[in-house]
Amino acid sequence: MLTILAYSMVVVFMYLIMTKRLPALVALIVVPIGFGVIGGFGPQLGPMMLDGIRNLAPTGVMLMFAILYFGIMIDSGLFDPVVRLILKLVGGDPFKIVVGTAVLAMFISLDGDGATTYMITVAAMLPLYVRLGMSRLVLACVIMLAGGVFNILPWGGPTARAATALGVDVSDIFVPMILPMAVTSLWVVFVACVLGMKERKRLGIMTLPTQAEKAEQAAKAAQNVAVLQPAVAAAEMNGTTGHWSPSAAASAYDGNVHQLAGGRVESTVTPSAEPALATGGGGGHGGGDDNDVSNAAIKRPKLIWVNLVMTTLLMGFLIKGVLPLPVLFMIFFAVAIMINYPGLEEQKERIAHHAANVVPVVSLIFAAGIFVGILQGTKMVDAIALSVIAGVPDWMGPYLAVVTGLLSIPFTFFISNDAFYFGIVPVLAKAAEVYGITAAEIGRASVIGQPVHLLSPLVASTYLLVGMCKVEFGDHQRFTLIWSISAALVMLVAALVFGVVPLMGSAA
């Protein structure tokens, strides 16, 4: 009964958010409470929910101050040189931008922290996607795929859990997986190429004008508008898909889109057609470089080296584990805002401006605490684990390494990493011993599902990603799921080809 209740709760939750019957915030609260009451746990739900919220509270605090810290860095102009460099390298080609997003995300993912990867990569790349009208679902998808591959680094979490649960050295699991990781990284780049080609086909290649060309175009546009026609709205963009819908008047007037041979479209981004970047300050360009992330009125170009040193120190302290993550971000945020915006009113304005990004993410984290608290407190998670083990037939015994790899795909999605690695993996490893499959081989197979795990509603950092990209959680899951599964399967095949995970053990 408890097993049916557990699976039903997960299925109903996924159905509600993926069909947009309920927002994720509401579904995370009402669905587990409803199933908890149905299961007869009503009187015990209060303490369970508090336990779940208490366990996720440090994550919520960390994300809140991390968003504030990186928000201050964006406002001050720290990432503007990065954006200008990327623009110089990729120009207005959506294909190059998507591939560049994948490479950048994989590089930053080397620190093993998903939240850091999301914040830095989105801060650098989102302005380009908004500027060119590209789909933000593509941005979120590519970043998550890169993070999923590198999540199996020893300092990323899952590999350490597997090694601890199985009593083996971390290097016995990770080092043999380097080659499969490399192959899967190439697959992520291939997926980025596919998605980038689709965006290029949809949008064409944009030619981003220089400052002199912008001034000339702006003067001409102003003259034409004044003489020939009334002002018209250039376009409206669907923030989730990135599709622009030009008005009829704007389409008739704007002559900056050219059909070339072979059906390719090339266009020039003019001041009248550019979407404003919804970033710092008032949202306008404020007389600054249009390629910048920040608003000129609040930029601190003289402090860029101070901010760079401060951010580098923060990253170093994160890797070394000098202090708990929430404490580090709280301290560095306080220092950053005092240095960059010493005035009291300036500080209030910056905090209020970024509150719109903080509240949705942190509220989702605490709502997820209710979901996790009830899932664990009612022992539903244990019921799911036992059903997995009981569902493996005896004839699959020699193939338990492959079975473990396949099971890691759905079950690191439906249950937490802790429940999977400490509850299911040791039992599978014990059964596999009979067939000559070592604990280390089972451990390697168990980390293969990590690209899919990051899509789970139980992963706090995912809410940060969708919040910063401003896409719906359900839309992100629908768009990314097939690519995440493909990445996990590529890793499994690569592990089998390289002999890291055995296809079959010896006879019992």
Q: In this predicted structure, what is the pLDDT of residue 289?
A: 53
Better-predicted residue by pLDDT, 64 or 231: 64
23: confidence class by pLDDT, cuts 50, 70, 90: confident
Q: Which residue has the tokens 């989105």?
A: 122
152: confidence class by pLDDT, cuts 50, 70, 90: confident
Question: What is the token pair recorded at 409?
Answer: 């795909």
Question: What is the token pair recorded at 316?
Answer: 């170093």
Name, in order, each residue with C-beta under 8 angstroms of 3's C-beta and a sequence gap of 6 or more: 383, 384, 386, 387
Burial of 402 (0-12, 13-18, 19+ CB in 10 A): buried
Cα 98 → chain centroid: 14
Which one, of 103, 119, 127, 130, lies nearest residue 468 by Cα? Answer: 119
Model pLDDT for residues 50-86, shown as the tens digit of each residue: 988 888 788 788 878 888 888 888 888 887 787 677 7
Q: In this predicted structure, what is the pLDDT of residue 253?
A: 37
291: confidence class by pLDDT, cuts 50, 70, 90: low
Better-predicted residue by pLDDT, 298 or 494: 494
Q: Are 478 and 175 in contact (CB under 8 A)?
A: no
Number of H helices, E strands in the chain: 23, 5
Which one, of 142, 139, 162, lies nearest residue 152 by Cα? Answer: 162
Angle CA 433–438–443, to nearest 5: 115
Cα–Cα distance for residue pair 228/271, rounded to 1 Å? 18
- Whether the pLDDT of residue 163 is over 90: the answer is no
Burial of 434 (0-12, 13-18, 19+ CB in 10 A): middle
What residues form DSSP beta bridges with 449? none
Q: In this predicted structure, what is the pLDDT of residue 222?
A: 56
Angle CA 297–234–266, to nearest 5: 100
426: confidence class by pLDDT, cuts 50, 70, 90: confident
Q: In this predicted structure, what is the pLDDT of residue 220?
A: 64
- What mean pLDDT value characterizes the chain? 78
Among 156-160, 166-170, 299-303, 434-438, the range scoring the smallest mean pLDDT is 156-160
- Whether the pLDDT of residue 471 is over 80: the answer is yes
Q: In this predicted structure, what is the pLDDT of residue 115?
A: 74
- Whether the pLDDT of residue 237 is over 90: the answer is no
Half-sphere exposure for 47 (CA within 13 Å, toward CB)? 5
Greatest mean pLDDT range, 186-200, 360-374, 460-474: 186-200
Angle CA 362–472–467, to nearest 5: 35
Q: In this predicted structure, what is the pLDDT of residue 273?
A: 37
C-alpha distances (whole Å) from 259 to each of 223, 253, 287 are: 26, 16, 32
Cα 336 → chain centroid: 25
Q: Which residue has the tokens 């097993």?
A: 3
What residues form DSSP beta bridges with 207? 268
> pTM for this one?
0.67
Question: What is the token pair recorded at 22?
Answer: 């309920």
3-state secondary structure of 41: coil
Greatest mean pLDDT range, 9-13, 66-70, 492-496: 492-496
Q: In this predicted structure, what is the pLDDT of residue 227?
A: 47
Specify the DSSP class assigned to residue 284.
S
What residues form DSSP beta bridges with 205? 266
Name, in order, each residue with C-beta under 8 angstroms of 457's C-beta and a sequence gap of 6 or more: 13, 14, 17, 24, 28, 368, 371, 473
Model pLDDT for residues 89-134, shown as the tens digit of each residue: 777 788 999 998 998 888 877 766 677 788 778 888 888 888 888 8
Specify the DSSP class assigned to residue 92.
B
- Whether the pLDDT of residue 145 is over 90: the answer is yes
Cα–Cα distance for residue pair 139/99, rounded to 1 Å? 10
Q: Which residue has the tokens 């989730």?
A: 240
Q: In this predicted structure, what is the pLDDT of residue 78?
A: 81
Average pLDDT over residues 143-151: 89
Model pLDDT for residues 243-277, shown as the tens digit of each residue: 445 444 444 334 444 444 444 444 444 433 333 33
What residues form DSSP beta bridges with 377? none
Model pLDDT for residues 332-372, shown as the tens digit of each residue: 999 999 999 998 988 999 998 888 778 877 887 788 888 88
Percent of the chain residues topping a pLDDT of 90: 17
Cα–Cα distance for residue pair 481/243, rounded to 1 Å? 21
Question: What is the token pair recorded at 261?
Answer: 């041979």
Which one, of 402, 409, 427, lies nearest residue 502 by Cα? Answer: 402
First-to-last CA distance in the chain?
Answer: 34
Could you tell me the strand order of the sheet in which 205-207 lies?
Answer: 205-207, 265-268, 257-259
Q: In this predicted structure, what is the pLDDT of residue 141?
A: 94
Q: In this predicted structure, what is the pLDDT of residue 196?
A: 93
293: confidence class by pLDDT, cuts 50, 70, 90: low
484: confidence class by pLDDT, cuts 50, 70, 90: very high
- 3-state helix, strand, coil split of the chain in percent (to 5) is 70, 5, 25
Cα–Cα distance for residue pair 179/85, rounded to 1 Å? 31
Q: In this predicted structure, what is the pLDDT of residue 369?
A: 84
Average pLDDT over residues 420-444: 82
